[in-house]
């Protein structure tokens, strides 16, 4: 885990070469989300399993990222007297998707900007985020640009996640205006 945290530092230093994330304070996250091990409080654990979410930059090949992770783990294991003779195994589970940058959505973004400004009374600002988003799957694999837009939140996915209720109302209004503008409106005919 310590070796992987050092690799995270190395990958974050590469942000200087990335046009989207060069100003982001910490674009790459290796999130140790789960760790388990041991069988009994008074025994030395016979095994340990941990699961980690690893971010990549847009354009970074997943094969290259996996190779670098595997080399890091192998090197750390060789340096440890116990693990040198019992190398850890590595399993990839869950989804794997490249980093995503929204492209080809200028018209859609323009409609969202107008809708946002009409509701909020101020211009929409763009944010680069290191968060995982399902929008990537639409943009990368379905040729469908996907915008991520939502309410003001605090500590997303944290134990004390919270959302500003007034911003939920305004986002709902913004999305309604966006749909009306993007899809158009049909007159409602009175029923006899």
Predicted local confidence at residue 186, as pLDDT: 80
Other CB atoms within 10 Å distance of the CB of residue 104: 10
Q: Is residue 21 very low, low, confident or very high in pLDDT (cuts 50, 70, 90)?
A: very high
Report in angstroms the alpha-carbon separations of 66 from 50, 62, 91: 16, 6, 11
* pLDDT > 90: percent of the chain: 74
Predicted local confidence at residue 113, as pLDDT: 97
pTM listed for this prediction: 0.80
List the domain boundaries for the chain: 2-85, 106-183
Please say whether the beta carbons of 58 and 64 come within 8 A: no
Mean pLDDT of 33-50: 92
The two tokens of residue 175 are 């999305």
φ, ψ (nearest 5 deg) of residue 89: -100, 155
Query: Is the pLDDT assigned to residue 188 strictly greater than 80?
Result: no
Query: Is the pLDDT assigned to residue 157 strictly greater than 90?
Result: no
> What pLDDT digit, counting tens, does each position of 107-150 carry?
999 999 999 999 999 999 988 888 878 888 898 889 999 999 99
Predicted local confidence at residue 62, as pLDDT: 94
Q: Which residue has the tokens 């200087």?
A: 16
Mean pLDDT of 34-48: 92
* pLDDT > 70: percent of the chain: 100
Q: How far is CA 8 from the centre of its chain?
A: 15
Domain 2-85: which CATH number of 3.40.50.720, 3.30.365.10, 3.30.70.360, 3.30.420.40: 3.30.70.360
Q: Which residue has the tokens 């899809």?
A: 183
The CATH fold of domain 106-183: DNA polymerase; domain 1 (1.10.150)
| Max intra-chain CA distance, the chain | 85
Predicted local confidence at residue 136, as pLDDT: 87
Report in angstroms the alpha-carbon separations of 131 from 9, 94, 128, 148, 163: 17, 16, 9, 11, 16
**Average model confidence (pLDDT) across the chain:** 92
Measured torsion, CA atoms of residues 80, 64, 20, 146, in degrees rounded to the nearest 10: -120
């Amino acid at each position: 885990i310590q070796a992987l945290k050092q690799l995270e530092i190395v990958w974050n230093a590469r942000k200087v070469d990335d046009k989207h994330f060069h100003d982001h304070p910490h674009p790459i996250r290796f999130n140790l989300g789960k760790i388990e091990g041991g069988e009994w409080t008074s025994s030395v654990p016979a095994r340990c399993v941990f699961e980690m979410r690893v971010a990549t930059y847009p354009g970074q090949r997943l094969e290259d990222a996996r190779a670098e992770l595997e080399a890091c783990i192998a090197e750390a294991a060789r340096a440890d007297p116990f693990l040198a003779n019992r190398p850890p195994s590595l399993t990839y589970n869950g989804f794997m998707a490249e980093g995503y940058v929204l492209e080809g959505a200028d018209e859609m973004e323009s409609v969202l900007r107008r809708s946002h400004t009409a509701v909020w009374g101020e211009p929409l600002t763009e944010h680069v985020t290191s968060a995982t988003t399902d929008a990537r799957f639409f943009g990368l694999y379905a040729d469908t640009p996907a915008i991520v837009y939502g309410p003001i939140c605090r500590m997303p996915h944290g134990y004390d996640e919270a959302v500003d209720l007034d911003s939920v109302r305004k986002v709902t209004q913004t999305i309604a205006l966006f749909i009306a503008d993007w899809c158009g409106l049909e007159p409602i005919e009175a029923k006899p």
